[in-house]
């Protein structure tokens, strides 16, 4: 039996390696909440017809904004383009909303937010690769869409707004936090900063972020890449401040084309050609309570897989033709 040509074998091996590493990462779950973590929260407000668990907010720490989520979308990191398991929260959702929590599709909403670095408008330094007041915000994914592509409205807000990072930090600071957990509505600012109007999410964080951060639980099961039985999805964005950074340019992060992105006081490049908000990937919730994050994949990953598949296909066709003519 003849073997594949060396170039094709190399492509196939590389493609196989990429396919494995794209789903092999796992988030380092934090047992306690840290100031720079991304916090997922669930609401069942009366404005949407919610009655079960009405007085409580369910929350779940998803891990570091930069070590888990930004790194998964940064080409130089080992986790780039990964599908990351963030844990299972079925027990806490069941205890709060009942065993049929997936059936409350019209009233349960969930979102996630976090911030990295200083929240002070006077601070012009960087922290862990982000300028001060950089925030991580989810938006409702409106349909299944394609892996690695956003399917939501960008969370851009006025660059002059400096209060959002501080508000997120204050809302996420829950006294005596356990993971995951439940807190009374009155003991957190999450509900107040993420209001509803006429049964739909209103602008969040002092009317700054259009359409809010949250999405409702769906009664329809969908799939995204290797993740199936999804009942809710959120696109995650990193929003970098483009004013008051204290520098005219700073190469502090890489975009999806593996090129150093430059930020300035006049404009911001968040990667992927966006202005100030960069899509990092999609957070999904399964009907069994599984939470996963599918990061933006490196374009060359798909290109290499396609090239390997095309090369293998052409080789098989040529071989069959030779056998038929023999």
Mean pLDDT in the chain? 75
| pLDDT higher at 257 or 57 | 57
Tokens of 163: 């209060």
Residue 148 confidence (pLDDT): 86
pTM of the model: 0.78
Residue 48 confidence (pLDDT): 78
133 within 8 A of 215, measured Cβ to Cβ: no
Instruction: Compute the CA torsion angle 68, 127, 113, 269 (nearest 10 deg).
Output: -90
d(CA 175, CA 302): 44
Q: In this predicted model, what pLDDT tens digit does every residue of 311-326 receive, in sequence order?
A: 555 555 566 566 566 6
**Domain positions in the chain:** 1-22+298-326, 25-296
Residue 85 confidence (pLDDT): 95
Residue 120 confidence (pLDDT): 82
The residues with which 248 forms a beta bridge, in sequence order, are none
134 DSSP 8-state letter? E
Q: Is the peptide bond before 169 cis (omega within 30 degrees of 0)?
A: no
H-helix or E-strand spanning residue 191: helix 190-193
Q: What angle do CA 243, 248, 253 make, to 5 degrees?
A: 80
158 within 8 A of 244, measured Cβ to Cβ: no
d(CA 128, CA 291): 25
Residue 13 confidence (pLDDT): 41
> Is the pLDDT assigned to residue 259 strictly greater than 80?
no
Q: In degrees rounded to 5, what are phi and psi of residue 119?
A: -100, 0
């Amino acid at each position: 039996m003849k073997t594949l040509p060396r170039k094709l074998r190399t492509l196939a091996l590389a493609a196989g390696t990429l396919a494995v590493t794209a789903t092999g990462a796992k988030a380092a779950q934090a047992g306690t909440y840290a100031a720079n973590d991304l916090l997922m929260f669930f609401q069942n407000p009366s404005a949407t017809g919610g009655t079960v668990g009405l007085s409580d907010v369910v929350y779940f720490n998803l891990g570091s904004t930069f070590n888990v989520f930004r790194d998964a979308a940064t080409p130089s990191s080992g986790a780039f383009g990964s599908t990351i398991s963030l844990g299972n929260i079925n027990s806490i959702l069941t205890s709060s909303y009942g065993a049929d929590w997936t059936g409350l599709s019209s009233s349960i909403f969930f979102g996630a937010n976090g911030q990295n670095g200083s929240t002070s408008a006077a601070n012009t330094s960087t922290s862990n690769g982000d300028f001060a007041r950089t925030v991580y915000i989810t938006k409702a994914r409106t349909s299944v869409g394609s892996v690695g592509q956003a399917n939501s409205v960008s969370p851009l807000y006025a660059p002059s707004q400096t209060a959002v990072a501080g508000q997120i930090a204050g809302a996420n600071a829950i006294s005596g936090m356990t993971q995951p957990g439940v807190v009374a509505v009155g003991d957190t600012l999450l509900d107040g900063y993420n209001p509803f109007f006429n049964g739909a999410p209103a602008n969040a964080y002092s009317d700054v972020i259009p359409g809010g951060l949250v999405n409702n639980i769906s009664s329809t099961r969908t799939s995204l890449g290797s993740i199936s039985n999804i009942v809710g999805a959120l696109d995650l964005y990193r929003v970098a401040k483009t004013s008051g950074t204290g520098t005219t340019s700073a190469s502090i992060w890489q975009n999806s084309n593996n090129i150093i992105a430059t930020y300035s006081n006049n404009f911001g490049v968040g990667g992927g050609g966006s202005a100030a908000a960069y899509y990092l990937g999609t957070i999904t919730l399964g009907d069994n309570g599984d939470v996963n994050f599918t990061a933006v994949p490196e374009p060359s990953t798909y290109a290499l897989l396609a090239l390997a598949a095309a090369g293998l296909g052409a080789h098989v066709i040529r071989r069959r033709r030779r056998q038929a003519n023999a």
